[in-house]
Chains A and B, each alone.
With several copies, the nearest count.
Chain A
Amino acid sequence: MDPALVGVEGPVRPSVVLPVFEGPLDLLLHLVREEKVSIWDIPIARICDQYHEALRRMEELDLEVAGEYLVYAAWLLLIKSRLLLPRHEGEQKDPRLELVERLAEYEKVKAAAAELAGLVELRRGVERVRFAVPPPSGEIELDLEDVDVLALSRALRDVLERHLRDHPPTLQLEPIRFSVREKILELFELIRRQRSFPLLSHLLTRPDRLESVTLLLAALELQRLGTATAHQRRPFAEIYLTPTGTPLPMDALTDA
């Protein structure tokens, strides 16, 4: 059984055909089979070069090369270099052994998958009969034997999601700790004393974010009332608040 083939046609070059692999082990198995050798006798240097060549072609074709392929590329290089080095005394183990064992296991997985595919093929056209008898209740029932913990946790998630939909969390209102009126008076006092007051630095250094917001509203209110003007030389620079000389109309201050 050959892996499915993907054809990619370039505008100038002849079309390149590269099999689709299920992972690095699948690619390695393919290369070993092309060499017509047993996996127990892999010509590692040649296979290593062909593996890297295959990765290069995959990249050329813009196929996504998963990280697992690179891990095996590095491993193959390591085995290749170990084989080139003289063996130490007492070191009997073939550096290829672990790779060979994994390939052998994977070969079995592929054979088992082919067996399953064969079984499924025999089942084509075999459908369960559905007689015109309504189930006792309209509800879907699950065979207890196949109900697993995942089904259970999924059911909980469904319950919680439905609960949240039916009981949306109510909006939490913070108690009012700062009033705009209080901050207007405070700011007015500050600009009267300093003439050119660095508003932005003041806002950014408040420990409480709610206080900064209230202060900003107060600064805007002061300008609306004509008691102060704000200016900034360039974007993000300091904003200065200066008094216009108009007194604060105390009666216009609502109890905000």
Chain B
Amino acid sequence: MPELAGLAAMVEAVLAVAGDPVTVDALVAVAGEGVERARVEEALEFVRSRHEQAGSGIRLEHVAGGWRLATRSEYEGALREYLGYRARARLSQAALETLAVIAYRQPVTLPEINFLRGVNSVAVVRTLVERRLVVVSGRKQVVGTPLLYRTSKEFLVHFGLPDLSALPTPEEVEQIAGESAVEP
């Protein structure tokens, strides 16, 4: 039954990019003219049974009046493990902002970072230190003698900079990064 397999593959492709549950009606509409509802339901059953076989980490589930592809619950541990692994190779927007403040204003104290960002950044600074992008470089001689932070050698290597003076100037950012309003 090659025709059903083709329809099943199309249904699976749509479900794979949808993320949210898709109703049978929507799938019938996408399948185009001449494809009956019963046929689409057969295709869904085809996809479902294909993923019941050994070696599939995916399953088709019926939720909230629609169908969606989801991972099998057995692999929750592995997924958590992976998300943790990925987090170590990524920077959150908060981390990027904090790194930017430290890079351009160094050496700088935590109260100064908090003042500029408007939020307490202690956890983010700790993460940046753990990831060796930021290091402590002494204390500021003011009340409370807070720690001073600056960027590390690894920071320069990662961004391909010979030294800190090579950071882009505001003019260069204006020229190349343009207005942030352009982005959706």
Contact = CB atoms under 8 A, between A and B. Distances in A.
Interface of A: 1, 3-4, 22-26, 33-34, 36, 38-39, 66, 68, 72, 102, 104-117, 119-120, 122-133, 135-137, 139-160, 162-163, 166
Contact of A111 (B129, B153, B180): B180
Contact of B173 (A140, A142, A145, A150): A150
Given A108-B177, A116-B159, A159 B168 contact: no
Interface in B77-119: 77, 79-80, 83, 86-87, 89-94, 96-97, 99-101, 103-104, 115-119
Nearest to A137: B92
B105 to A, nearest CB: 8
Given A113-B99, A125-B72, A131-B19, 5 more contacts: A22-B119, A120-B91, A128-B69, A130-B17, A148-B159
B97 A155 contact: yes
B25 interface: no
Interface of B: 16-21, 58, 61, 68-77, 79-80, 83, 86-87, 89-94, 96-97, 99-101, 103-104, 115-120, 129, 132, 135-138, 147, 152-154, 157-161, 167-168, 170, 172-174, 176-177, 180-181, 184
A130 B11 CA distance: 14
Given A111-B174, A123-B158, A148-B159, A133 B79 contact: yes
Do most interface residues of chain A lie in helix, strand or loop, or is the interface mixed? helix
B177 A131 contact: no
A92 B160 CA distance: 44
8 closest Cβ contacts across the A-B interface? A125-B76, A23-B119, A112-B100, A25-B118, A111-B177, A125-B73, A33-B184, A156-B100
Contacts of A157: 170, 173, 180
Contact of A110 (B97, B99, B159, B167): B97
Contact of A106 (B16, B118, B154): B118
24 contacts: A4-B93, A104-B177, A110-B180, A113-B97, A115-B176, A120-B90, A120-B158, A125-B71, A126-B70, A127-B16, A128-B70, A131-B19, A131-B69, A133-B70, A141-B86, A143-B20, A143-B90, A145-B153, A148-B135, A148-B137, A149-B136, A152-B168, A153-B168, A158-B180
Contacts of A104: 177
A30 B58 CA distance: 42
A109 B180 CA distance: 13
A72 B115 CA distance: 12
B129 A150 contact: yes
A3 B58 CA distance: 35
A102 B117 CA distance: 9
Contacts of A114: 96, 176, 180
The majority secondary structure among interface residues of chain B is helix
A148 B96 CA distance: 10
Of listed A102, A132, A158, A160, residue having the most chain B CB within 10 A = A132
Contacts of A119: 159-161
A153 B17 contact: no
Contact of B152 (A124, A125, A146, A152): A146
A129 B74 CA distance: 15
B75 to A, nearest CB: 6
Contacts of B173: 108, 111-112, 115, 150, 153-154, 157
Nearest to B59: A126
A146 B65 CA distance: 13
A68 B119 contact: yes
Given A36-B184, A109-B97, A129 B76 contact: no
B130 to A, nearest CB: 10
